[in-house]
Each structure stands twice: as structure tokens, then as C-alpha cells.
Amino acid sequence: MRLRFGNYYLLVIWRIVLAYLAYTLCRLLFIVFNHSLLEPMTGGQFFRILSGGLMFDTSAIMYTNILYLFLSFLPLPLIRRESVQKCLKGLYVTVNFLATAINLADTVYFRFTLRRTSSTFFTEFAGDVKFFRILAESVTLYWYIFLAGILFLLLFIYFSGSVKHLCKNGFSARNFYLLQCVALAVTVPLFIIGVRGGTSGAMRPITIGNAGDYTDRAIHTAAVLNTPFSLIRTLGKAEYVYRHDFASYEQMEPVFTPMRNMNGESPVNRNHVIEFDSTAKGKNIVILMLESFGAENMSFMNRNLDKCYTPFLDSLRKEGLFCTNAFANGRKSVDAIPSIYASIPSLISSYAVTPYSTDYTFGLPKILDSLGYYTAFFHGAPNTSMGIRAIARLCGIEHYYGKDEFNDNSKFDGSWGIWDEYFLPYVADMLDTLPQPFMAGIFTLSSHHPFKIPAEWEDRLPEGEVPLQKTIAYADAAVKAFFEKIRNSDWFGNTVFVITPDHSTLWGIYPEYTTTIGNTRIPIIYYAPGFIAPGEYHQTTQQLDIMPTLLGMIGYDKPYFAFGRDLNCDTVRPPFAVNYTEGQFQLVYNDTLLFRNDSELTAVYRLPDDALLENNLLEAPFADSLRQSPSLQRQDEFFKAFVQQYVNRLIDNRLSCDEAL
């Protein structure tokens, strides 16, 4: 039975209350659906999330309902007409259902990004012809979320109510005009307060980072936020603002600088961590990027994993240098390319979709091109997919081979691109034709949502605890066939391989991977039989280190720009890894994990003892003395210098050594 109100203003208030109810229900669904990623969450934390979420819900509801509220309180006689009231109800239902649908969609998408969707989403999928096909498949896979959307639509239609006899509700047209003026006058300041997040004159309009005020864990901020707010507050906004912890680049240089080999010192014949007898000068370089091969799903990184989904990768890591404590520098595939090929991380937002992605860089492909290398990138998706080709070219890769060049749609998986088992042999054949020396980037795709494999492989692969694991087993088999094919090529013995995932994908199988640092852990393998001695590297490393490490191997002694470090030769910078999650920067520095917002350190943890990040040392009884310790101050200075170098150089377009300090 539909609701009917005797008072027009009670109807408007009820509709706003109904919107709050919908946002709260969406938040509860978000927490339930992603509970394995958000655990541990105590009862106290849960209620703080709900109470804090009301502030962000208020802002989003005010933003999305501004037109409805303005029209509802217009002091015009036509507002009293039944036809106009029906239009206002239609506007209310449409706007609030769309906001709810966006929240529901992000309940699923959060699993792949570990953050609320921002306006960069539209840039990532711009021109991506398969977006709606992926969306349709997601509706089928997560039908219960789609069903929830239908129920919310019915909720808005049947419970948004109407008003009885607005033209005869007990007051004259003159009184109606006055009441509308009063209502509008009251609504305007309430709207301003709502979107700002409070009445304090010292507080700027709330942003995504303010969610940290309501949670002790960075990943919980996603539950505090809602997606309409995240989209609106990042739409058209400059997310990068100059940092001023240091007065100049010169002042930062002794603490941290991305400028390498500025003194002309050669990396050859230094103390090598990666053992080899001579430089790799003139050797081919192949960087194999494996979709979603996070550490959580690797049996050789998890002894308790019940099945082995990567038997070939396991055998390969025994023949190369296996980095046991490695981290990705982003959350998405498009983040990995600048991290690996230009040693530029994705902090604050995806570097590839910021206005700064067109900054001049002189990364690995351009350096190798200057040395006579042929540079190529292979990815079996449509050439415009996810902006992969665009960012690869911005990094300096000259030649791109994708689904278009493969030119056989019968091998299309129906979602993302060409099955790995068919695309990788094509890559092998193409590599045989490339002039040497070459640098080739290869990016697999089959181990990606919606996690499909060819029908003939269904009974040949182990079933996983989560859908991703079976597709990883399929991709591992495809990589095995690829290596078996290229071992007979004349260029194979003269090639250095780097194997790394694009990013990790969190499913919450093990609690240590549900933390903001655990969910960035990945394997990295340097492999060159007869050149790189087998072994393990146990210190911290990251995707940013791949470029400088390879340049060190080939004996490159000219200045270059990199935020990472050379595993062989860097005696100045400590082993470290950086990332960004839910409004905070995070830094692994030796055995310490630090979190920092825009102004201060917010958390410090000891690794690996506190892998679950349960004991924030800044909240311990000795926190004051810890803050004053030279060790932590040195780490924090390094942290601040890194962030300022990154942000300011992006804004200043100073991502190469061509510009003098």
C-alpha cells in the first residue's frame, strides 16, 4: 500500500529519511559482502563506521537531491499541481535509485580495487567497447546484487509517498507562497552544512580522507564512505596539491631523490645481490606481467595452501632469483605499467588516468631505445582496453600487439580478450621475428574477472577456494607452454626475464592478506639461466625496483630517473616499498610499516611480527618517546621526502633527469 501524507513538508522530509535508510542498507550490504576483507571489525568499530557514515551520506544526499529540493520549495503556484508533483516524485525516485545502484555496484567492484570508486573510473573505461558486456556478465555472476537493486527500486516507488489534495490542504495560495519561501530559506543553509560535513568554520568541505576519523584501519574507510560521495568529491578535482615539508628539491636530495647516477659512477663491478659474472649489456629483456597473480594464491608463498595452482611458476622461481618480500605499487592493471617501466608509482590515484600521465618521462623503454633496443608490448585484449596501450606508449614502448593484431576472433574469451593459451604462442612467434636486442612486455589476461576458462580445461585443473584460483592454474599452464616453446629460440639464452603480477587480488583466504600491506604482496622473479644464479632475495622490494635493477644489470651508467632502487647497487637508499590506500600513504621501511596522511604519521607497525596490524605503536604507552626516537624521525623524513618528490614532480612535470635540480 502506497504512503499518502496530509502535509506536503512531511512528505519531503520523509523522502530524505528514506534516502538515508537506503544508504544505510547499502552500507550494511557492503560490510556483509566484503566481511572477509574488512575483518577484524569489533562491535565498537562497526557502530563508529555507521555513525561516521551518516556524515558522508548527508553530503551525498544533499548533492544528489539538490534539484529535487530546490524545485519542491519553489514559491510558485504550479508546484501544487498534481502533474508537477508526479514529476517531482519521478525525479526523486530516479536520482536516489541511481545513487543506490552505484553503491551496490561498488559493493562488488571494491574487491578488485580495495577502495571506493572515484571519478577516475570514467577515464579508465572511456572508449572501452567491452564495458557493457563485462557489466552484463557481472549482473549474471552477482545476480543477488542485481536483485537487491530491483528491491531498492520498488522501495523508492512504493514508499516515497504522495500528498493528499495539495491544492486543498488548509492554507491559501498566499500562505503557500510564504511557507515555500521559508522552506527554501531553511533548506539552503542546511544544504551547505550537509555538503560541508558540519558547521565548524575551521573545517573545509569533507573529503575522502576524512573517513579516517571514524576508523582505526585504513581499509574500513571504504565502509564509512559511499560511492556517490566519492565520485562527486573527486569529479574534476585536482587531487595533487604541492607539499611543503621541504623548502626545495635541493633540500630533499640528501634524504630522498629519484635522480640516479648523477655523479656518473658506473654500477659495474659493485657488490651484487643478484649474482652474475658480467653485465647483461646487449641482452634481450622480457617482462612477463601475470594478471592477478598475488602472493595469496601462490603455493610457494603459502605453505598452508591446500593445492598448488602454479606448479610451473614454482619450478621457475627455483631457477631464478625469487624475491620473497615484494610489493605492488598500485591496485589496478593500469598502475603496474608506469611502476614497472618508468619506476613511477600510483599514489593518491592511478597515475595513468591523472592529467600528469602525459608528463615527460625517460623510463626503461626510452633508455633501451637509445641503446638500440626494439621495444614491444603484447596484450591479448582489444587495443583500447583499459588504456593499457595508451600508457604503454606514454612510457615509451614503440610497438603494441593486441587482439587487433592477433586477428582471430575465434579465440576470443567473450569477455576480455584472447585466451592466454592461444595468445602466448602468438607472442612467441612474434618474438622470433623481432630484431635483437629487444625489450618485450607481455601481459596475460585470462586470470581476471569473470574468471572463465575454456570448457576443455574444466576437468584438468584444480578447483580453488575462490573462482580466481582455477583461472590462475589455467594461466600458469599457458605460461608453461609458452616457455617450452621459446626455449628452442635462438634469442632465449641471451635474455633476462622478469616475472611479476600486475597487482594482487584479495579474497581473504588468509587473514594476513586482508591488511592494507598484505594485500599488495606479490612474487617477483628475475630469471636468466646461466646468467643469474638461483637464490632468494629476502629484503623488501617492489615493482618500482625492476627498472633500476635491470639498468644496473646492463651496466647503464648515465643519469636516469626512478623512484625505485637497484637491488644490486643501491647503497644509499634502504630497501623500501610504497603504496596508497584510502586516503593514506604507506611505507615499508626495513622492518617498519608507517602510515601517513597529508600532515602526520597516523600509525606505525613492526613487521613481520605484527602481520595483522593489530598493535599501532603510536597508540602504545611509549608512543611519545617513539615519536622522538631518531630512528622513527629518520624514517618519517624519508617518507615525507618521497611523497613530496612524487607529488611536486608530477605537478611540475619533472619526471626525468633532463631538468636540472
Q: Which tens digits make up the pLDDT trace of 621-630?
A: 888 888 889 9
Q: Give yes or no for a contact between 340 and 333, defined as CB atoms under 8 angstroms apart.
A: no
Q: Which three cell numbers stand for residue 607?
A: 613487521
Residue 617 lies inside a defined structural domain of this protein: no
pLDDT band of residue 202 (cuts 50, 70, 90) is very low
Q: What is the pLDDT of residues 478-529, one digit of tens each?
A: 999 999 999 999 999 999 999 999 998 777 778 888 888 888 999 999 999 9
Whether residue 182 is found in the same domain as residue 296? no
How far is 90 from 113, CA to CA, in rounded Å?
A: 33
- Antiparallel, parallel or unpaired: β 399-401 and 374-379: parallel
Whether residue 174 is found in the same domain as residue 295? no
Q: Is the pLDDT of residue 416 over 80?
A: yes
Residue 571 lies inside a defined structural domain of this protein: no
Residue 599 lies inside a defined structural domain of this protein: no
Greater pLDDT, 608 or 352: 608
Which residue pairs, CB below 8 angstroms and at least 24 apart, start in 151-155? Answer: 152/22, 152/25, 152/97, 152/100, 152/101, 152/104, 153/93, 153/97, 155/18, 155/22
Greater pLDDT, 617 or 162: 617
- Look up the domain containing 158 and give its range: 4-234
Range scoring the smallest mean pLDDT among 155-169, 174-188, 319-333, 602-616? 155-169
Whether residue 483 is found in the same domain as residue 347? yes
Q: Is the pLDDT of residue 134 over 90?
A: no
Whether residue 159 is found in the same domain as residue 308? no
Residue 626 lies inside a defined structural domain of this protein: no
Whether residue 301 is found in the same domain as residue 184? no
What is the Cα 558 distance to its own chain's centre? 33
Q: How many other CB atoms are there within 10 angstroms of residue 427's CB atom?
A: 25
Whether residue 93 is found in the same domain as residue 172? yes
Whether residue 226 is found in the same domain as residue 334? no
Of 527, 548, 565, which residue constitutes the final position of a domain?
A: 565
- Is 2 exposed, middle or buried (CB count within 10 Å of its CB: 0-12, 13-18, 19+)? exposed
pLDDT band of residue 268 (cuts 50, 70, 90) is very low
Whether residue 163 is found in the same domain as residue 269? no
What pLDDT was estimated at residue 1? 47
123 contact partners, CB below 8 Å, separation of at least 6: 353, 387
Whether residue 312 is found in the same domain as residue 439? yes
Residue 302 lies inside a defined structural domain of this protein: yes
Residue 620 lies inside a defined structural domain of this protein: no
Q: What is the pLDDT of residues 300-332, one digit of tens each?
A: 888 777 788 999 999 999 999 999 999 999 988
pLDDT band of residue 545 (cuts 50, 70, 90) is very high
109 contact partners, CB below 8 Å, separation of at least 6: 117
DSSP string, 614-647: ---GGGSTTHHHHHT-HHHHHHHHHHHHHHHHHH
Q: What is the CATH number of the domain that holds 418?
A: 3.40.720.10
Whether residue 206 is found in the same domain as residue 290? no
Residue 608 lies inside a defined structural domain of this protein: no
Whether residue 137 is found in the same domain as residue 286? no
Of 512, 538, 565, which residue constitutes the final position of a domain?
A: 565
pTM of the model: 0.77
Percentage of the chain surpassing pLDDT 70? 90
Number of domains in the chain: 2
Whether residue 152 is found in the same domain as residue 57? yes
Of 523, 540, 565, which residue constitutes the final position of a domain?
A: 565
Residue 402 lies inside a defined structural domain of this protein: yes
List residues bridging with 187 in a β-sheet: none
78 contact partners, CB below 8 Å, separation of at least 6: 84
What mean pLDDT is reported for the chain? 87
What pLDDT was estimated at residue 272? 55
Q: Is the pLDDT of residue 131 over 50?
A: yes
Half-sphere exposure of 145 (CA within 13 A, CB side): 26
